C-alpha cells in the first residue's frame, strides 16, 4: 500500500500507549475480519449462504480495539452484526463460515446463522437479532459478576438504533443504581437500516445520555483502533476497580449496506467515499509503516494470510454436512429445556440421542 504525505494515521498518544506489538496484532485482526467478510459476501452472492447476513466492514476498529482491552475472563455480548466479535472471541473462521452456511460444524451447530454466533467457553454470549434485546442480558451478566464478587467485566455492543429502545434505559438505570461492572458501547455507524441518526434521535451527542443515569460517558473515534483501545481500557478499569458502568459512543461507519439485500440508496457515493478515507485498516497500516513498526511486505503477508484463512473457511464450510432433520430441535434451547420439549414433541429424537 503506497504511503503518501497526507496519509492519515492513528492518534499519536494512543498509538504510543498501545505500542508496536499490540498494534501489529490489531491490524492483523482487522485484516482477518475484513477478508473473511469479503469472502462471506462472495459466498452469499453465489448462493452458498442465505438468509440474513449483516457485514461489519468499516467498523472493525471498534471490536478489535475494544476486545483488545479486555481480559479472557470478561464477558462479551453484541447484536446481529457479530462475525467480527465472534472471530475475536475464539470462534475460528471455519466455525463462523460454517454457521453462515447453516452447517453442523458452525459456531451454533448451524442452528443460528449469521446473527447468532456464540462461544460461551470464551465468554462470548452472542449474536442477538432483536434490536436492543440483549442489553438487559448484559446487565444480568454484570449483576452476576457483582453478586458473586468475581471481578470480571461485561462489555455490551449495540447500534445507535437500539439506543432508543426501552430496554436500553431500563438496563443502564439498574447498572448505575446497582454499581455493576458493565461497559456499554454504542456502535454509532450513523444509520439504523436506512434511517440516519438525525431522523431518529433528538440529540446527536449520544454519550450525553450517560448523565441521565449518573454514569460516565465518553465519545470515541471508532475508526481509530488505538483510541478505541485506550477508551475501553479506561472504562474496563473503572468497572473492575470502582464497580461503575460506562456508556461509550464509538463513532464509526459501515461501508456496505445494512444487510446483503440493501442497495443503500439512502446515502450518496460521495458520503461513503469520504468515510472510506478514514478506513480503520488504512489508518493502522499507515501508522505502522510511518513508525517503521512493520514493513510493507509484512502488511501484505498478513493480508494474504487473512485471505487464505477465509478461503479455507469457505471450503471447509461448503464440505460440511447440514444438521440432520431428526436432530434439528436440539441445541436451540438450554439442554434441559430442549429435552423437555423433545419429550413432549419428538420422542424419536430422545431414542436417537
Ligand X SMILES: Cc1ncc(C[n+]2csc(CCOP(=O)(O)OP(=O)(O)O)c2C)c(N)n1
Q: How far is the CB of 168 from ligand X (least distance, A)?
A: 10
Residue 25 engages ligand X in binding (rule: CB under 6 A): no
> Cβ closer to ligand X: 2 or 203?
203
Partner interacting with residue 194 (select from Mg ion, ligand X, none; CB below 5-8 Å by kind):
none
User: By CB under 6 A, what part of segment 181-200 binds ligand X?
Assistant: 189, 191-193
Residue 189 engages Mg ion in binding (rule: CB under 5 A): yes
> Cβ closer to ligand X: 29 or 201?
201
CA angle, 147 then 85 then 201, to 5°: 80
Q: Which stretch binds ligand X (CB under 6 A): 106-114, 129-137, 171-179, 323-331?
A: 129-137
Residue 162 engages ligand X in binding (rule: CB under 6 A): yes
Task: Please give the DSSP secondary-structure letter assigned to residue 71.
Answer: -
Walk across the sheet containing 182-188 and list its strands: 75-77, 154-159, 182-188, 246-251, 216-221
Q: How far is the CB of 58 from Mg ion (least distance, A)?
A: 11
Quick one: CA dihedral 274, 275, 276, 279, positive or negative? positive
Q: Which helix (H) or strand (E) holds 248?
A: strand 246-251
Partner interacting with residue 162 (select from Mg ion, ligand X, none; CB below 5-8 Å by kind):
ligand X
Cα–Cα distance, 240 to 236 (Å, whole number): 6
Q: Which residues have CB under 8 Å from 344's CB, separation 6+? A: none
Q: How far is the CB of 217 from Mg ion (least distance, A)?
A: 18
Q: Which residues have CB under 8 Å from 131's CB, separation 6+? A: 79, 158, 159, 161, 162, 165, 192
> Cβ closer to ligand X: 259 or 282?
259
Residue 329 engages Mg ion in binding (rule: CB under 5 A): no
Size of the residue set binding ligand X (CB under 6 A): 13
Nearest in space to 186 (alpha carbons), one of 124, 255, 131, 261:
131
Residue 129 engages ligand X in binding (rule: CB under 6 A): yes
User: By CB under 6 A, what part of segment 241-260 binds ligand X?
Assistant: 258
Residue 78 engages Mg ion in binding (rule: CB under 5 A): no
Q: How far is the CB of 264 from Mg ion (least distance, A)?
A: 13
Grid look-up 468515510 returns 275
What is the three-class DSSP state of 220? strand
> Cβ closer to ligand X: 54 or 89?
54
User: By CB under 6 A, what part of segment 67-96 binds ligand X?
Assistant: 81
Partner interacting with residue 251 (select from Mg ion, ligand X, none; CB below 5-8 Å by kind):
none
Among 131, 185, 233, 239, binds ligand X (CB under 6 A): 131
Nearest in space to 139 (alpha carbons), one of 100, 111, 177, 98:
177
Cα–Cα distance, 138 to 167 (Å, whole number): 11
Classify each residue of 274-305 as buried b or exposed e, where b means 16 or more C-beta atoms within 10 Å of its C-beta: ebeebbbbbbbbbbbbeeebbeeeebeebbee
Among 45, 130, 208, 212, binds ligand X (CB under 6 A): 130
Cα–Cα distance, 10 to 289 (Å, whole number): 12
Nearest in space to 113 (alpha carbons), one of 273, 317, 289, 274:
317
> Cβ closer to ligand X: 167 or 349?
167
Partner interacting with residue 131 (select from Mg ion, ligand X, none; CB below 5-8 Å by kind):
ligand X
Partner interacting with residue 302 (select from Mg ion, ligand X, none; CB below 5-8 Å by kind):
none
**What do you get for the CA distance between the two ends of the chain, in Å?**
53
Partner interacting with residue 81 (select from Mg ion, ligand X, none; CB below 5-8 Å by kind):
ligand X
Nearest in space to 72 (alpha carbons), one of 107, 18, 120:
120
Q: How far is the CB of 258 from ligand X (least distance, A)?
A: 6
Length reported for the chain: 353
User: By CB under 5 A, what part of segment 81-120 binds Mg ion?
Assistant: none
User: By CB under 5 A, what part of segment 140-179 binds Mg ion?
Assistant: 159-161
Binding residues for ligand X (CB under 6 A) = 81, 129-131, 159-162, 189, 191-193, 258
Binding residues for Mg ion (CB under 5 A) = 159-161, 189, 192
Amino acid at each position: 500500500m503506497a504511503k503518501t504525505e497526507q496519509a492519515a494515521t492513528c492518534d499519536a498518544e494512543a498509538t504510543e500507549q498501545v505500542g508496536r506489538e499490540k498494534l501489529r496484532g490489531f491490524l492483523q485482526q482487522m485484516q482477518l475480519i475484513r477478508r473473511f467478510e469479503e469472502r462471506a459476501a462472495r459466498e452469499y452472492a453465489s448462493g452458498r449462504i442465505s438468509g440474513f447476513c449483516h457485514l461489519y466492514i468499516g467498523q472493525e476498529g471498534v471490536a478489535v480495539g475494544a476486545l483488545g482491552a479486555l481480559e479472557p475472563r470478561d464477558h462479551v455480548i453484541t447484536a446481529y452484526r457479530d462475525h467480527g466479535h465472534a472471530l475475536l472471541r475464539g470462534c475460528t473462521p471455519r466455525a463462523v463460515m460454517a454457521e453462515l452456511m447453516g452447517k453442523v460444524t458452525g459456531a451454533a451447530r448451524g442452528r443460528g446463522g449469521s446473527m447468532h454466533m456464540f462461544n460461551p467457553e470464551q465468554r462470548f454470549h452472542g449474536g442477538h437479532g432483536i434490536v436492543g434485546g440483549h442489553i438487559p442480558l448484559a446487565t444480568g451478566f454484570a449483576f452476576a459478576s457483582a453478586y458473586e464478587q468475581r471481578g470480571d467485566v461485561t462489555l455490551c455492543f449495540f447500534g445507535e438504533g437500539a439506543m432508543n429502545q426501552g430496554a436500553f434505559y431500563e438496563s443502564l438505570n439498574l447498572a448505575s443504581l446497582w454499581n455493576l461492572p458493565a461497559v456499554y458501547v454504542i456502535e454509532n455507524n450513523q444509520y439504523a437500516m436506512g434511517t440516519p441518526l438525525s431522523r431518529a434521535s433528538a440529540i446527536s451527542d449520544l454519550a450525553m445520555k450517560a448523565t441521565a443515569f449518573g454514569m460516565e460517558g465518553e465519545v470515541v473515534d471508532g475508526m481509530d483502533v488505538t483510541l478505541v483501545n485506550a477508551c475501553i481500557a479506561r472504562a474496563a478499569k473503572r468497572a473492575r476497580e470502582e464497580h461503575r458502568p460506562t456508556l461509550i459512543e464509538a463513532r464509526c461507519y459501515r461501508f456496505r449496506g445494512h444487510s446483503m439485500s440493501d442497495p443503500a440508496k439512502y446515502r450518496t457515493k460521495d458520503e461513503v467515499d469520504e468515510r472510506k478515507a478514514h478506513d480503520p485498516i488504512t489508518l493502522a497500516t499507515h501508522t505502522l509503516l510511518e513508525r517503521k513498526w512493520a514493513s510493507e511486505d509484512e502488511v501484505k503477508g498478513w493480508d494474504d494470510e487473512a485471505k487464505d484463512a477465509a478461503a479455507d473457511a469457505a471450503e471447509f464450510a461448503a464440505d460440511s454436512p447440514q444438521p440432520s432433520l431428526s436432530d434439528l430441535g436440539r441445541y436451540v434451547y438450554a439442554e434441559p429445556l430442549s429435552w423437555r420439549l423433545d419429550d413432549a414433541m419428538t420422542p424419536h429424537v430422545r431414542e436417537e440421542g
